[in-house]
Structure 1
Amino acid sequence: MSDADKFLDTGRRVITEEAAALQQLADGLGDGFASAIDLLLNVKGRVIVSGMGKSGHIARKIAATFASTGTPAHFVHPAEASHGDLGMMTSGDVVLVLSNSGETPELVDLVTYTRRFGIPMIGVASRANSTLLQRADVSIVLPQVGEACGYGVVPTSSTTMTLALGDALAVALMEYHQFTPENFREFHPGGKLGAQLAKVADLMHDGDTIPVVSTDTPMTETLLTISQKGFGVVGVVDANQSLVGIVTDGDLRRHMDGLLTHSAGEVMTQNPTTVSSQMLAAEALAIMNNRKITCLFATDSNDSGKVLGILHIHDCLRAGVV
């Protein structure tokens, strides 16, 4: 067997063992999980997540997942907690403590502090009779499975289960609170995720930057507006400021003979495609690509059709919307 085949065998074995551990975790999930959700739903302050070593790394990720899905949370390092960070926890908080063995010595001061000041604590460990779970208000017992390293010493299956458990808690809370992608975007304004969840209103040009003229505006002035605003188009509005048409390069070419003798209302294309300012920018970009156009006017969502802004395809590309 070649080295490549050996590597593949190892990779498949580890993933298969960890998947089996996750299945055991799912099958064994019980009242402790439901009680933990009840406790987390009623928290008045924040969720404090803590753990040592590899459990600490998992705790950081769980805290970040809570925070990004509408449950205020942060990580407290148990060793730092013994040197002043215990003050980061208050009586209105709930503490989620992770420890595979349930006997991690660095957790002693943190656990004792929660007991002394009546701070509710959820313990997660693989031993039901461990010190952590015996002292916790709510206990979640992880299945006792072998680590996928083959020697039973490297945290692999145990950390995978703990990570998945944290995700399950966060998603259960998220679904209960009916947390939406729009809510999620509020915590992720940057990067690809923020770009994909950006709305037309976030990227569009509004106010005096919008290229609009009235139906009776002479084409001499209309051409000047197109040039000054820099979008290559101009919206045409009626007396109620509702969008009734648009003048594009194509319209100019079609009316080349005697163009300057016409008004914008005579040259415009009627009933142009528009979007809502609350539409996702990614959807607006798809419309522009499908119709092979570079701009879309955003109008209000009621029947008035008043112009709220204009979105150019370059605005989407600059923001990373694809």
Structure 2
Amino acid sequence: MVEQTQLRQWGRNVIDIERDALDNLYQYVDSKEFADACQLILACKGKVIVMGMGKSGHIGNKISATLASTGTPAFFVHPGEASHGDLGVLSENDIVLAISNSGESSEILTLMPVIKRMGLPVIAVTGKPNSTMAKVSQLHLCIQVPEEACPLGLAPTSSTTATLVMGDALAVALLQAKGFTKDDFALSHPGGSLGRKLLLKVSDVMHKGNGLPIVDHDICITDALYEISKKGLGMTAIVDEHHRLAGIFTDGDLRRVIDAQINLRATKIAEVMTPNCITITENILAAEALKIMEEKNINGLIVVDAAHQPIGALNMLDMVKAGVI
């Protein structure tokens, strides 16, 4: 049985070696080739075709996905399948991003004559500046590492980490150069939690119409409790004679009223409500409303219009149901 301390040390060694590999990567990102590669992709009127075999292919797949989701159209093409028809995805305005740590991937090199014949520029990403791929490509991005984290020096570890980070560096540099925004990001992520956080607005989540808990300021506490119970949000908006929001009354306020032994039937809700409560508008993101609730340590919010009249309400449970949390 291997001791736990030894296992932890081996794990730490991997992190140390890969951290050194990333420190070594600075010099290649600072190079003219990196900036040239960014400019070449920015000028591209087509898409970036990413290629790689084995572990480089797995990393290439992730790089193409990152590029595509951050405003740079990209596809991953498996070099082994490309020579059997998949190369048809290439068009005259594309760029090829070819990944191989050794720079001698036979599957990619076999495709080079066809890519050259199409006149497509190739950016090679390798750990060997003097490799065949580096020499036949228009640009070369070096991802050379001092050593692999694998003690045998065989399993790609530091090199794949460096490749992934180089791909992220390209994608984020391009994102910023294009002025890519949160709204742009949301358009390519309509599904899942990212899409909900970036697209869902308060108007999509709030209770409105008959679902909005709302009472007049001159009714008694008991009648207000009927409204809270009926609408099930744990609160109600209170409006004045002009139907403007005067305050809010919540389950928490009820507990304080009971502790103070206030007469629920004889006391008007306006006397115990929380005036000047925090409000939001319907056009802000639901994620922003959630942030307000978390920062103010409150469980619900009243939504008002330009005239400060209540038009909706939401609570933390609504955020959970909508998938914003």
What corresponds to 2:304 in structure 1? 299
Please list the CA deviations of residues 48-90 of structure 1 after superposition, one character each: whole Å capped at 9, or x if unmatched.
2110011001101111222232323221111111122112222
Q: Is the 8 A contact 2:222 2:264 kept in 1?
A: no
Alignment partners' CA distance in 2, 1:206 and 1:74 = 44
Q: Is the 8 A contact 2:202 2:289 kept in 1?
A: yes
Q: 2:279 aligns with which of 274, 282, 305?
A: 274
Per the TM alignment, residue 115 of structure 1 is displaced from its structure 2 partner at its CA by: 1.8
Pick closer, same or farther for the CA change 1:237–1:112 going to 2, 3 Å. farther
| Paired residue type of 1:316 | M
Q: Is the 8 A contact 2:49 2:76 kept in 1?
A: yes
Per the TM alignment, residue 273 of structure 1 is displaced from its structure 2 partner at its CA by: 1.8
Per the TM alignment, residue 32 of structure 1 is displaced from its structure 2 partner at its CA by: 0.9
Pick closer, same or farther for the CA change 1:205–1:9 going to 2, 3 Å. same
| Paired residue type of 1:72 | P
Q: 2:293 aligns with which of 272, 277, 285?
A: 285
> Residue 312 of structure 2: SS of its match in structure 1?
strand
TM-score, normalised on structure 2?
A: 0.79
Pick closer, same or farther for the CA change 1:37–1:240 going to 2, 3 Å. farther
What corresponds to 1:244 in structure 2? 246
Alignment partners' CA distance in 1, 2:241 and 2:139 = 66
TM-score, normalised on structure 1?
A: 0.80
Alignment partners' CA distance in 1, 2:10 and 2:226 = 69
Q: Is the 8 A contact 1:47 1:96 kept in 2?
A: yes
* Structure 2 stretches lacking a partner, 5+ long: none
What corresponds to 2:17 in structure 1? 17
| Paired residue type of 2:135 | Q
> Residue 308 of structure 2: SS of its match in structure 1?
coil
Pick closer, same or farther for the CA change 1:299–1:178 going to 2, 3 Å. farther
Per the TM alignment, residue 268 of structure 1 is displaced from its structure 2 partner at its CA by: 5.1
Per the TM alignment, residue 24 of structure 1 is displaced from its structure 2 partner at its CA by: 1.6
Alignment partners' CA distance in 2, 1:246 and 1:149 = 62
> Residue 23 of structure 1: SS of its match in structure 2?
helix
What corresponds to 1:165 in structure 2? 166
Q: Is the 8 A contact 2:148 2:156 kept in 1?
A: yes
Within the alignment, does 1:28 sit opposite 2:21 as a pair?
A: no
> Residue 122 of structure 1: SS of its match in structure 2?
strand
Q: Is the 8 A contact 1:47 1:95 kept in 2?
A: yes
Alignment partners' CA distance in 2, 1:140 and 1:257 = 77
Per the TM alignment, residue 106 of structure 1 is displaced from its structure 2 partner at its CA by: 0.9
> Residue 140 of structure 1: SS of its match in structure 2?
strand
Within the alignment, does 1:154 sit opposite 2:155 as a pair?
A: yes
Alignment partners' CA distance in 2, 1:148 and 1:269 = 60
1:209-220 counterparts in 2 under 5 A? Answer: 209-213=211-215
Alignment partners' CA distance in 1, 2:281 and 2:130 = 58
1:147-226 counterparts in 2 under 5 A? Answer: 147-180=148-181, 183-184=184-185, 186-188=187-189, 200-213=202-215, 225-226=227-228
Within the alignment, does 1:317 sit opposite 2:320 as a pair?
A: yes
What is the RMSD of the two structures over their aligned residues, measured on CA atoms?
A: 3.5
Pick closer, same or farther for the CA change 1:241–1:113 going to 2, 3 Å. farther
Please list the CA deviations of residues 15-45 of structure 1 after superposition, one character each: whole Å capped at 9, or x if unmatched.
2222222212212330111011112222333
What corresponds to 1:97 in structure 2? 98
Alignment partners' CA distance in 2, 1:90 and 1:240 = 65
Per the TM alignment, residue 315 of structure 1 is displaced from its structure 2 partner at its CA by: 1.4
Within the alignment, does 1:72 sit opposite 2:62 as a pair?
A: no
Q: Is the 8 A contact 2:220 2:264 kept in 1?
A: no
What corresponds to 1:126 in structure 2? 127
| Paired residue type of 2:99 | L
Alignment partners' CA distance in 2, 1:236 and 1:287 = 23
Q: Is the 8 A contact 2:208 2:311 kept in 1?
A: yes
Pick closer, same or farther for the CA change 1:46–1:6 going to 2, 3 Å. same
Pick closer, same or farther for the CA change 1:144–1:313 going to 2, 3 Å. closer
Per the TM alignment, residue 100 of structure 1 is displaced from its structure 2 partner at its CA by: 1.1
> Residue 102 of structure 2: SS of its match in structure 1?
coil
| 134-143 or 186-195: bigger deviation | 186-195
Alignment partners' CA distance in 2, 1:23 and 1:61 = 22
Q: Is the 8 A contact 2:83 2:111 kept in 1?
A: yes
Alignment partners' CA distance in 2, 1:207 and 1:110 = 63
* Structure 1 stretches lacking a partner, 5+ long: none
| Paired residue type of 1:82 | S
Per the TM alignment, residue 205 of structure 1 is displaced from its structure 2 partner at its CA by: 2.6
Alignment partners' CA distance in 1, 2:266 and 2:7 = 76
